[in-house]
Amino acid sequence: MTRVAFVGLGTMGLPMARNLIAAGHEVVGSDLDPARVDALGGADAGAPAEVVIASLPSAAAVEEVAHGLPGSGAEVFVDMSTGPPSLARQLADELGAAGIASLDAPVSGGPRGAETATLSIFVGGSPETFARVEPLLGALGSVVALVGGPGAGQVVKLCNNLMAGVNMVAIAEACAVAERAGIDAATLYGLITRSTGDSRVLRTRFPLAGADESHPSNRGFEPMFMLDLIAKDLSLACELAGEEGVEPAVARTALAAYRAAQERGLGRLDYSAVYLSSAATAK
């Protein structure tokens, strides 16, 4: 059993923390919203946690948590948020100097994956630190992989979200075309999921209502992953591409579509709501 402090009990963090408890670990919750801490079982002022795990919406929040760790008794910091690889490398250096090991371990799979412990977890850091916390991560995901040194996990996550974000914009545009041409939504979905246009994004976020009741489009685009967040991640991916000497022309075009959707007030909806912007601008 490991004593864990889990920082950030949102739609991803709370079910992840619960899965750690179910796996037999002792978990102390921390969140700006006291109701979320209560939902986990309340904060505990007992012994310091050996491992601190963060699942937070911004790099600034991650940095604030990390800077508070020296002297706390924490031995390992695991950042499961999505952020710039440069920050992961910076924190690895800073925390390492204070005697605290760190890993960047962003995830893919959304709230459903968090609830069912079927996340894909991309880990950057040392093999020794990874081996120490792998049992914890194994309680959260079905795919757990060390992909390189500090920052490497964030690189893989940003590449993943670049592909997912671009795919969603293409799906939105195609659906806007099909709808204007009078193609039935269920018919379109049934055919494309058995054709070369199929993808995991299509199967979880088809933006036309009536084809699959599990998709956000059937619930007013209630967010599984907010449009504001995919826009943030695409922006980070474009920055990373530039740092590596790659021109992300397609990603920049997709990012422009999400920016246009944000300007229409759609940022707090699921990112499949980019369809609403595509449909509204169709001529």
Indicate if 227 and 251 belong to the same structural domain: yes
Q: Are residues 187 and 272 in the same domain?
A: yes
State the CB neighbour count (10 A cutoff) for residue 174. 17
**Boundary of a domain, candidates 128, 148, 168:** 148
Structural domains of the chain, count = 2
One domain for residues 136 and 11: yes
Task: Indicate if 237 and 112 belong to the same structural domain.
Answer: no
Task: Take residue 74 and report the two structure tokens written for it.
Answer: 């924490």
The dihedrals phi and psi of 139, each to the nearest 5 degrees, come to -80, -5
**CATH of residue 273:** 1.10.1040.10
105 lies in the same domain as 137: yes
pLDDT tens string, the chain, 283 residues long: the values are 789 999 999 999 999 999 999 999 999 998 999 999 999 986 665 678 899 999 998 999 999 999 999 999 999 999 999 999 999 999 999 999 999 999 999 999 989 999 999 999 999 999 999 999 999 999 999 999 999 999 999 999 999 999 999 999 999 999 999 999 999 999 999 999 999 999 999 999 999 999 999 999 999 999 999 999 999 999 999 999 999 999 999 999 999 999 999 999 999 999 999 999 987 765 5
Mean residue pLDDT of the chain comes to: 94
CATH code of 33's domain: 3.40.50.720
In the block, which residue shows the tokens 């102390």?
Answer: 28
Question: Whole-model pTM?
Answer: 0.93
110: left (phi over 0), alpha (psi -120 to 50) or beta: left
Same domain, 26 and 133: yes
* Same domain for 168 and 83: no
State which of 130, 148, 166 marks the end of a domain.
148
Domain enclosing residue 271, as ranges: 155-281
Are 127 and 171 in the same domain? no
- 143 & 171 share domain: no
Evaluate whether 217 touches 62 at the Cβ level (below 8 Å).
no
Among the three residues 124, 148, 172, which one is the final residue of a domain in this structure?
A: 148
User: Per-residue pLDDT tens for 217-253?
Assistant: 999 999 999 999 999 999 999 999 999 999 999 999 9
- pLDDT tens figures, 32-59: 999 999 999 866 656 788 999 999 989 9
Q: Is 14 found in the same domain as 76?
A: yes
Give 3-state DSSP helix, strand, coil % of the chain, rounded to 5: 50, 15, 35
143 and 124 in a single domain? The answer is yes
Q: Could you list the active site residues?
A: 157
Q: How far apart are CA 47 and CA 69, in angstroms?
A: 14
